Amino acid sequence: IAQGLVTQVDKKGVHARQLIPLPQQMEQVREQVGQVAFRYARRYNFDLIAAVQRTDEGELAVLQDLQTASQQFVLPLLLKGERLDLDWANRTPWLAVSGASVEVPDEQGTPRLVGAIIRFDLSKGLKEMEARPLWLSPDNSESALEGAWSPDNSRIAFVLAERQPDGKLVRKGLYTIPNDGG
């Protein structure tokens, strides 16, 4: 992260390449979102980058494929939340997004805010990406923070936080969940 952008810098620190948003996307991003500010980015492979973008409305989990990126800033993954963290599984195209006040649709498609861990499976590619909630706090009274895959991808460890009446998140402890939920 450099100056709010996701930037690739060579080992010597001499050359930099702007990755999210791509230089040709800057004007569109500024028109749609306003300021550009990322706090976190992870790479699954050379062309696929997941990042957390800060906006005035909260944070967004975004996914950019540099192979298919065009002049338009269109992302296959756009997940809103209050405090988002993300982690790629080891050598597997699974992305875990965890956080507080994550906006997910209910059965009728109406967005609701929940504490959540959601696994995105990209095994079949971006167009057939599957999202699977692994853990939810339906009333948003608890949150899953700092989710991280175990080395063998069998579990996700996370910090469980409880929401106080004033909205502050208080950490309760370290928990784990199987990679298929439960």
For residue range 31-70, what is the model confidence (pLDDT) as tens digits? 776 666 777 777 778 778 888 887 777 788 888 777 776 5
For residue range 164-175, what is the model confidence (pLDDT) as tens digits? 999 899 999 999
The whole-number average pLDDT for the span 136-149 is: 93
Residue 97 in this model has a pLDDT that exceeds 80: yes
Say whether pTM exceeds 0.85.
no
- Tell me the pLDDT band of 179, cut-offs 50, 70 and 90: very high
Quote the pLDDT of residue 154: 97
Quote the pLDDT of residue 73: 46
Q: Which helix (H) or strand (E) holds 32?
A: helix 26-32
What are the respective helix, strand and coil percentages of the chain, to the nearest 5?
A: 5, 55, 35
Give the pairing type, strands 58-65 and 48-55.
antiparallel
Residue 114 in this model has a pLDDT that exceeds 50: yes
